[in-house]
Structure 1
């Protein structure tokens, strides 16, 4: 069976403002197929992360897939990582502002404050618990995607309109 990409929900879609539901059965075949399709969708969209609510599914699940691309040329390269029921365990006191965009908010970038270093826990697609520390850009991706699971968009975290850029030019 060929995976088809999922439609990415755009700002204004109510699912982007809802709390996502905890995943209770990781072994469910439909969930596993959804994960495969979400991975394909993220890669084809050239995103560095994507959360289930962005494709209209209320699961506490996202993928972090940092890689250099036209939107983030300095992004570190990492294997796409499925994170189920993720949570922030601890964070540094240091907060750094950085430019973010979102597949669900096209044409807009914002200067968003995020923790520099975070410790997180999540289940992988096989139900194994992981605890990891992330810094810099990957920490930013995790926090951005975790916000999606809580109905928060990056534009909600921008302190003032001077920290927004519109009509992001194509590179």
Structure 2
């Protein structure tokens, strides 16, 4: 497994619509998935999409876990998804703070659907459906945007709804920790 370079905002690959994968079980695709998992782990992320490592194909990984960037994230086993799409979503939307490995140092308050149902192909070629909610649904929607040439900044309702990672960790995360400690 290799730790791949992450494309940064301004790299044209981040603005391309990714192409479908037709040969899911090819060795090249399996290597890409393994490399995405390793890159994500090394970067302390909770999700990553193939365009972020320079591959404009419809592959993403959702891997929520507590880490320095998201200390309160729920834990789940990493889930690689090929050719994913949203089947349905709740009417309810929730705004919360997001960061991105391709937009280092910045967080934005982004509205996302609270609950979604997704369909995707697994790395072993099986078609699956899954319901996602809250933070995990947010991760999926964020990564899915990358497959469509979007970054979280495109979803901001107001450009004032941004802050640096440092400010986020000091104000938002520490306030949440203090608040939950007092309950």
Equivalent in the alignment of 2:19: 21
How does 1:112-127 map onto structure 2 within 5 Å?
112-127=110-125
Equivalent in the alignment of 1:109: 107
Equivalent in the alignment of 1:36: 34
Equivalent in the alignment of 1:5: 3
Give the total of aligned pairs: 168
State the 4+ residue runs in structure 1 displaced beyond 2 angstroms.
Answer: none
Equivalent in the alignment of 1:60: 58
| Larger Cα-atom Rg | 2
Q: Within 2, Cα distance between the matches of 1:37 and 1:4? A: 5
Superposed CA deviations along residues 57-93 of structure 1, whole A, max 9, x for unmatched, are: 0110000000011221111100000000000000000
1:34 Cα deviation (Å)? Answer: 1.2
Which residue among 68, 71, 79 is the counterpart of 2:69? 71
Tell whether 2:160 aligns with 1:169: no
Query: Per the alignment, in what secondary structure is the counterpart of residue 77 of structure 1?
Result: coil
1:100 Cα deviation (Å)? Answer: 0.1
Tell whether 2:46 aligns with 1:48: yes
Which residue among 142, 148, 155 is the counterpart of 2:153? 155
1:110 Cα deviation (Å)? Answer: 0.1
Which residue among 84, 87, 93 is the counterpart of 1:86? 84
Note the residue ranges of structure 1 that are not aligned, 5 or more in a row: none
Equivalent in the alignment of 1:128: 126
Compute the TM-score of the two structures, normalised by the length of structure 1: 0.96
Q: Within 2, Cα distance between the matches of 1:80 and 1:111? A: 25
Compute the TM-score of the two structures, normalised by the length of structure 2: 0.90
Q: Within 1, Cα distance between the matches of 2:31 and 2:118? A: 25
